[in-house]
Each structure stands twice: as structure tokens, then as C-alpha cells.
Structure 1
């Protein structure tokens, strides 16, 4: 039976640096490690056509995570989530391998098709913009990335990505980098394309259908149904599989602990604290929130 870890003791806690300068983000990563968090995550956007949300600057996630890797020793590092289809596979492979080695194998790759409001898609000729094209490009790029970890000379032919010979002489520290694809969850009509993609990798970032990032967050009931579905469809492997829950822990430690227990009991293996409201969330607020640490379970 596939292992979907459900025990509270296995729940890990990550924190997203949603706002702040590069220096503030690196400081936030240090504070996350010092205050008991298990992971620090940034995000991946270039030029968003999103009104108030786009009021602040965006930063290169790999540069931020390289700096975070240099000042931390324990925590997992990643971004929620990497917009893979707008990146060249060979550049993504080199960037990921660099962070992986710099951090001693603490890097993970949450990945998605990217958002259509990013001008890095819509304002650049030749970029995949239709959802199907972005999904196919995501699969091609992940396939290319995995081939690069073999350390052998390889070529590649996909639907949207075709290259001649490449070779990366060093593999990731652990042999491969964990990949967590975004997938839409609908218990009544499970969308198999995105779910099957996640099943091929090491974890899943579930979303439900909604009009905002908060609306798209899965509930504990959604996670429980998804965890049962994952266990059924990964029955041929005993490899562990991460299910990522995104939410906002209450300032009251007792309430926060109840929230985390509900997610863990449902089958989530990571809680990612996600604060996005540009009207209330500031870099200073994020720093104070990170210093409170995750709940004790």
C-alpha cells in the first residue's frame, strides 16, 4: 500500500516569504530556521497584471533561495510555485542543481503551469499561453529535467521541447530533486491529467476551483478525500508521497494547533503558511509571524 503519512508527528511546517526585499527575504529564511519552521518558500512571478497585488517588486526565486541556502543549515527550500513552462529546461536544470548542491540537498520543486496574468507569458511571442500547451510544456520540461539527473549524455524529443545532446556530470545530492506538481482536486470528477502528473513524482500541491488564491486552497475534507484517492492509485509503490496543505495559522497557539491537527489527520504532510493580502501583509508583519514559530503538536 502506498505510504501517505497521516501521523501528526510527521507534519512539517513551511512559511512563504510573500513580500519583502531580497535582504528581508533572506532574513526571513534565517528567522524561519531559528524559530522551528521546517521550510522556507518564496514564489515565482515576473510581471503580473494583477492590480493591487502587483504593486510590489518581484525577485528571481533562484537567487533568493541561493542566498537563503547560504545562511541556513536545516530547512527545506523552494517556491510556491515555480512557473516551469516559461523557463528553458536546461537553464532550469542548472539553476535547480546549483541550489540543491549549495543547500546540501534541501531543495524541492513545487511546479505548475504558471498563471496567465504573468506578462512573461502574455507579452512574449512564442510563449505557451493556452492551458493545454502550458501543461504539455510542463511535462516536457520535467521529463528533460529528470533525464539530466542521470549524468549520462542524452538528447530529448517532446511535444514542445526538442534538444540535441546534453550532459550534467553531477546528479543532485540525493540522486533526484523532489518534485511537487500542482493538481486540481475535485472529488466528484477528479481531473486525471494533473493528478496523474503528480502521481509520477514525489508530492502534490492540491488546489480546488476558485477565483482567488485563498478560494483555491483545499480544505481538510478535500485533503482527506485526496489522500484516499492517492493511496488507492499509488498502491503499487511504498515510496512516501507528500501532500501539501496551504493555509493561515491562527495567532492563538491553541487554535493553530487544532488547525494543524485537522490537516495532518486528513493526510497532509506539509502545512505551508501562506499570507497574500497586500492590504494587510507587510515584510515586517511576516517577520513577526515567522518568529512565533509553528504550533507545538
Structure 2
């Protein structure tokens, strides 16, 4: 199992420094996040362009995976998203991953823009459209796109991603077969128990059930090769307990643990840097 760390709060420079610290202290990945205006959450914390953060992180690292928890794809214009993702992918030498979802419901990037204030079903349909557009953009061929909500004329992106495609990890609500089915069509899953939030932890039993279900149904999809199970949460402060928790998730079938601190009252930039410097737990 690999270990990533979310740079949840701080200035632009602190995010980039945290990415470098992740590489220096044995982590396998650094992730930022994608929001524009989350209202009064966190007392009005600043938000940054995730692709700008990741581009800067790519220039100060050489090894670690880069991404965001998570990219709110229905809010992005697909053609601009394709260009930005391709740029960071090449700048990093093929180290970008795309954890993706429908976006949080209180992001003013949705609620304050006419035409963006769509319901969950429409966001999910748009998510599928944007992912399909990305896949077309990686072929190097000229294409026009006609999806459920996204319709465009001709586009061509003549340069492919470094590794031919960029791994996509959709958020999926467990045990929803429809939501999980989307993840099976791509390269991994960021599972979340139905009716909970990202801060509600999964158990090893949950992970084992997800892995077993995926193994049973993957033959019905076009997904080939490695398929990641990406669990996020906060490990215990005690190193021995942290190792035991991580080991239990690894044995259940998780391939990534993403250390995620979302309480702005506690997750100061200084604390995040301290946690990163402690390194990931030993399995």
C-alpha cells in the first residue's frame, strides 16, 4: 500500500513546500484539493487553483504521485481541463492522477453561477461526459463530442499523456452498484459509505467488501491492468497504532492510504508539515 498526504490548508508557498517535504520524508503522493468558494466553512479559508499548485509541485519533486482530493469535474470546462491535466502530466513526467467527483454541494462555483446549480443526477451525468471527453482527448485524433450535457465541435490534442493516459479514480458511494460501476470503468475508486462524508472513515471490513465486489464485477467492464482502492482518513497519532491501522487496510485490499485533515481549526500548515516530516507508517 502507498501513502499520500493532502495539503489541506496554507498559502500557495506552503502547499508547494509540503509537496517537497512529502518527497523528502518517504511519502508516495501529494494531493491538493479543488474548490472555489465554500462559503463560511473554515472562516473563509483561501482556495487555490489545483493545477497551478500541482504544476509548481511537479517542479520541486521527481518521484511522488500528484493529484487532488478531489477534482470537481462538472464545474470544469472539459477542453480546458484536458489542456491543464496534460500540461501537469508532462511537467511531472507522467506522475499525475485524477481523483474525480461531482463536487461538494455548497461550492459557490456551482451555486452562484447560472446554469451550474444542477442537481446531483445532472452533475453525475456531466461527470461522465467530462471523463468521456478526456478519454477522447488522449487519442490524439480530432473529434467532436456529443454527450448528455456536454456538446462541442472539433477538438484535437495531438500530444498524448506521458503514459498514454492519466489514471482516473472516481469517488463512488458504497454499496451503490451504479456509482461503483463508474469506478470500474476507470483506474480505481475513492470509496465513501453511502450517506456519509469524506471524514467518516471506512473499516477494513468495508474495504474488503468493496474489493470483493469489484473483483466479481470487473470482468463486465473495459478496465485493464491495475485498479486502485484509495482510502482517505486520519491515522492514529501513536506510531504503533498507525501502523496497525494501515496494515489492516492493506490486508483488506486498499492500495493507497491518503492522510486527510479537513478541520481548519486543527490542521494548521505547521501541523501538516510536522505530520509529513514524521513520514508514513511502517507496514
Deviation at 1:47, TM superposition (A): 0.3
In the aligned structure 1, how far is the partner of 2:151 from the partner of 2:41?
39
Aligned to 1:234: 218
Q: 2:33 aligns with which of 18, 27, 43?
A: 43
Q: 2:202 aligns with which of 194, 210, 218?
A: 218
* TM-score using structure 1 length: 0.92
RMSD: 1.2
- Say whether the 8 Å CA contact 1:256–1:295 is kept in structure 2: yes
Hey, which bits of structure 1, 4+ residues long, moved more than 2 A?
51-55, 209-213, 235-238
- Say whether the 8 Å CA contact 2:184–2:218 is kept in structure 1: yes
- Say whether the 8 Å CA contact 2:38–2:44 is kept in structure 1: no
Shift in alpha-carbon separation, 1:177–1:292, aligned structure 2, 3 A: same
* Count of residue pairs brought into register by the alignment: 281
Aligned to 1:252: 238
Aligned to 2:110: 121
Q: 2:21 aligns with which of 25, 28, 31?
A: 31
Aligned to 2:274: 288
Q: 1:206 aligns with which of 187, 191, 194?
A: 191
Q: Deviations over 1:136-172 (max 9, x none)?
A: 0000010001000000111110010111110001000
Deviation at 1:254, TM superposition (A): 1.1
Shift in alpha-carbon separation, 1:176–1:128, aligned structure 2, 3 A: farther
Gaps of 5+ in 2: none
- 1:173-188 superposed matches below 5 A: 173-186=162-175
Relative CO higher for 1 or 2, CA cutoff 8 Å, sep ≥ 6? Answer: 1
Deviation at 1:53, TM superposition (A): 2.4
Deviation at 1:212, TM superposition (A): 4.2
* TM-score using structure 2 length: 0.96
Q: Deviations over 1:65-95 (max 9, x none)?
A: 0000000000000000000001000000000
Answer yes or no: is 1:261 the counterpart of 2:244: no
Q: 2:153 aligns with which of 154, 161, 164?
A: 164
In the aligned structure 2, how far is the partner of 1:145 from the partner of 1:288?
37
In the aligned structure 1, how far is the partner of 2:15 from the partner of 2:65?
15
